[in-house]
Each structure stands twice: as C-alpha cells, then as structure tokens.
Amino acid sequence: MATLLLVVIYIIFISLGIPDSLFGAAWPAIYDEFSLPVSAAGSVTFTISACTTISSLLSARLINKYGTAKLTTISVFLTATALLGFSLSPNIIWFCLFALPLGLGAGAVDAALNNYVALYYKASHMNLLHCFYGLGVSVSPYIMSLALSQQNNWRGGYSNAFWIQIIIALIALCSLPLWKKVNRHKQEAEDEVFHIVSITTLFKLPSARAVFFILISSCAIEYTAGIWGSTFLVNTKGLTAENAAKCLALYYIGLATGRLLAGLAATRLSSWKLIYIGQSVLITAIFMLMLPLPTSVSVGALLLIGLGNAPIFPNILHLTPQNFGKEYSQSMMGAQMAVSYVGIALMPPLYGILAQKLSMSIFPYFIVLLFCMMLFSIYRLRATLKEQQIKLL
C-alpha cells in the first residue's frame, strides 16, 4: 500500500509542474489578445509567487489542522479551479485574481508532499518525485502549443490542462482512504502534530541559514539558465531564436535526466555524495561556458548545468528531517520552499538588469557567483552539523 500511495504522490506532483510552464507558453497570445505590454506578465507571476510563498510558510499549521492528505487534495482542486478560471478570463485583472488560488494551492502541495516523502520514503523517491515535476513542466507547453496551432486558442490550452488537473484532483480525493490505511500500517497518525516555528526563528539558526542559501542558489541557477540560456546563445553565439530554443530543450532534458539518474543512484549513494557529484558536474559545465569554445560546447554545457544541478535541491530537502528533527521538519520545509520561491522570483530578473547594463556575456560569471554561494553555504552547513554531532549520511 505504501508503494501505491507513492505512485499517487508522484501523479499529484505532476499537477504541480503543469501550471508552471503553461503561462509562459501562452503569454504571447494572451497579451496580444488583451492589447497589453509584454511586461504585464509580471503582475500575474508575482501574484503566483507571493501566494506560493505564503502558503509554504503556513504549511505546518495547515497540516496540523487538516492533515497532509486533505490539504493536498484541497490544494490540487484549487489549482484546477485556477486553470479553469484562466481559460475564461476576459482581462488581466481576472488573471491576477485566479493567480491567487493557483499560488496558494501550489505552495501547499509542494511543502506538504516534499516533507511527507522526506519523512517516510528514501532519497531515491525524493529524486524521482522531482523528476515527475519535470514531466509536468515538460508536458504543459506541448499542450498549449497544440491549442495555439488552432488560431492562437490559448483558452483551449488552459481548458485541456484543467481537465488533466481535475482528473489528478479526483485521484487525490479517491486516495484519501489509502492515506489512512498506510498511516495506520506505519502506526503514524494522519493528524500528527508538527511544532510550529516561524521563519524568523529559523533564520537565527546557522544551519537553517546555510540551507536557505543553498536552495536559493540552486533554484537561481536552475531558473536563470532556463529563462536566459536561449538569449545567451542568440546574443553571444549567434544562433537564431528558433535554434536556440531547440538547444535550450537539452537543458531541460539534462535536468529531468539528472533527477532520474539521482533517483536510481540513491539506492547505492548517500544524499551528500549525490550532491557532491552534482556540484562536480555543475562547475565543469560552468567552466565550459566561460571558455571561448565552439557553440556546440556551450549547448552541451547547458545540458550539463541541468544534469549537475538536478540532484542538489531534492537531496537537500530529503535531509531536512535528519538535520532538524521530524517534529520541526514541516516548519523547516515550508520555510525552505518559501525562500526557494524568493530566489526564483528575484535572481533571474537581477541577471536581466545586469545583462542589460553590462552584456549578455556575463551569463557564465553570474552562474559561477551563484555556485560559489552554494559551495560556501554547503561548507557552513556541514561544519554546523558536525558541531551539533549530526551524522552526515
């Protein structure tokens, strides 16, 4: 039954990825229909990010009240409602309104399921969990592209995504008895109470601060490479926008493959070893980008950035109960997801500003600065954990 529940959790995590790349694929058609400036997308994405951060921070309180299963089910229904609302929205104001349930639902699912898997499953399952998120992110642009091929029918794309999301929500609803059986078998109460700790209190802990900066840097590398990698290839390597977009697909393939491989390797290697291997691949890729090598090498470097960065985020999350205790894990997980979203929201735009003022060629140097922040934070985390006599697995 625990295996069946894990399959359900994987399916639910696909629903987390579906909305994330849907808006970007649809936006060119949306702003054209609504006669908006391109920058108007920021009002929607900021609303989603803000609500996701809020629900992540509230996740421990919400789980104490509703339990992981019920909170997850409610949240998936919220995201499905948001997708339906987007498909019916007559203007950008309605988009911003429906961004509220999308962000609130996504943050709760992310924090709740990451902590549940970290508590009750192996590191391999955590890596595969994030691989399924990658599946959702990869599928949704394809869904939207099919709709856009029919007279820019972005509403149809959102409508199709809604039906997928509502099916996943119904699967989550039908799985509620399964959660109870699994928890009873494990002698774990579904309403297990987590200690509520504020993010300001957690920031006072050296180990928590180190983890926050590791996650911020990893997410910043992931999203900066995903958003600006194509533009970097166009401006510095002379590729056409079409070819650069195709090359960027290799980056996402590297990211998904890295998490799949990490999931398979986690049966033999510890979380820390997977993190070290990922960092080794990542720094190699960064140096490949920095050197004046052929375009094909730069494209390969982007693939390796995805491959190397892939295991860092899920394995740091999986170590949460071990590093901070099971009773504090949900508060810490919520805080971790919140700071991750802050890094996602701030770092790619920061690079955009710097690139506009300086040059797009600073891309590898920006990535290497983020990598150095990650490296120093990992060093500080391990030093602090050793002082606390926490076993480094």
**Distance between CA atoms of 124 and 34, rounded to whole angstroms?**
45
Does the pLDDT value for residue 241 go beyond 70?
A: no
Residues 37-73 pLDDT 10s? 866 777 888 888 889 989 988 888 888 888 899 999 9
Mean pLDDT of 182-210: 73
Does the pLDDT value for residue 308 go beyond 70?
A: yes
Does the pLDDT value for residue 289 go beyond 80?
A: yes
Mean pLDDT of 267-291: 93
User: Do 2-185 and 199-387 come out as alike in CATH topology?
Assistant: yes
Q: Among 316, 213, 339, which residue's Cα sits nearest to residue 262?
A: 316
CB atoms within 10 A of CB 381: 23
Mean pLDDT of 304-326: 91
Look at residue 159 in the predicted model and tell me its pLDDT. Answer: 94
Kindly list the distances between the CA atom of residue 158 and the CA atoms of 90, 140, 330, 385, in Å, as whole numbers in the listed order: 14, 9, 32, 46
Contact 273, 347 (CB under 8 A): no
Give 26's pLDDT tier (boundaries 50, 70, 90).
confident
Does the pLDDT value for residue 391 go beyond 60?
A: no
Residue the block writes with tokens 């090598």 = 293
Higher pLDDT, 321 or 393: 321
Give 189's pLDDT tier (boundaries 50, 70, 90).
very low
**Distance between CA atoms of 258 and 223, rounded to whole angstroms?**
16
Mean pLDDT of 250-273: 88
Phi first, then psi, for residue 72 (nearest 5°) are -65, -45
Higher pLDDT, 273 or 227: 273
Look at residue 192 in the predicted model and tell me its pLDDT. Answer: 56
Task: Give the 3-state secondary structure of the chain.
Answer: CHHHHHHHHHHHHHHHHHHHHHHHHHHHHHHHHHCCCHHHHHHHHHHHHHHHHHHHHCHHHHHHHHCHHHHHHHHHHHHHHHHHHHHHCCCHHHHHHHHHHHHHHHHHHHHHHHHHHHHHCCHHHHHHHHHHHHHHHHHHHHHHHHHHCCCCCHHHHHHHHHHHHHHHHHHHHHCHHHHHHHHHHCCCCCCCCCCCCCHHHHHCCHHHHHHHHHHHHHHHHHHHHHHHHHHHHHHHHCCCHHHHHHHHHHHHHHHHHHHHHHHHHCCCCCHHHHHHHHHHHHHHHHHHHHCCCCHHHHHHHHHHHHHHHCCHHHHHHHCHHHHHCHHHHHHHHHHHHHHHHHHHHHHHHHHHHHHHHCCHHHHHHHHHHHHHHHHHHHHHHHHHHHHCCCCCC
Look at residue 187 in the predicted model and tell me its pLDDT. Answer: 52
Structure tokens at 131: 């691989």
**Distance between CA atoms of 50 and 44, rounded to whole angstroms?**
10
Higher pLDDT, 230 or 378: 378
Report the alpha-carbon angle 190-337-39, nearest 5: 135
Which of 10-14, 216-220, 253-257 comes out lowest in average pLDDT? 253-257
Does the pLDDT value for residue 190 go beyond 50?
A: no
Look at residue 373 in the predicted model and tell me its pLDDT. Answer: 96
Structure tokens at 366: 């920006």
Does the pLDDT value for residue 295 go beyond 80?
A: yes
**Mean residue pLDDT across the chain:** 86
**Distance between CA atoms of 278 and 316, rounded to whole angstroms?**
12
Mean pLDDT of 209-230: 89
Look at residue 38 in the predicted model and tell me its pLDDT. Answer: 64
Does the pLDDT value for residue 252 go beyond 90?
A: no
Residues 366-381 pLDDT 10s? 999 999 999 999 999 9
Mean pLDDT of 230-245: 76
Residues 104-119 pLDDT 10s? 999 999 888 988 888 8
**Distance between CA atoms of 262 and 249, rounded to whole angstroms?**
20
Torsion of CA 372, 206, 110, 106, to 10 degrees: -90
Extents of the domains making up the chain: 2-185, 199-387
- Fold entry, domain 199-387: Growth Hormone; Chain: A; (1.20.1250)
Higher pLDDT, 212 or 146: 212
CATH class of the domain defined by 2-185: mainly alpha
Residue type, 66: Y
Structure tokens at 253: 């393939």
Contact 150, 156 (CB under 8 A): yes
Look at residue 191 in the predicted model and tell me its pLDDT. Answer: 46
Residues 6-23 pLDDT 10s? 999 999 999 988 887 787
Kindly list the distances between the CA atom of residue 3 and the CA atoms of 8, 178, 309, 326, in Å, as whole numbers in the listed order: 9, 11, 27, 21
Look at residue 284 in the predicted model and tell me its pLDDT. Answer: 95
Residues 6+ apart with CB under 8 A from 93: none
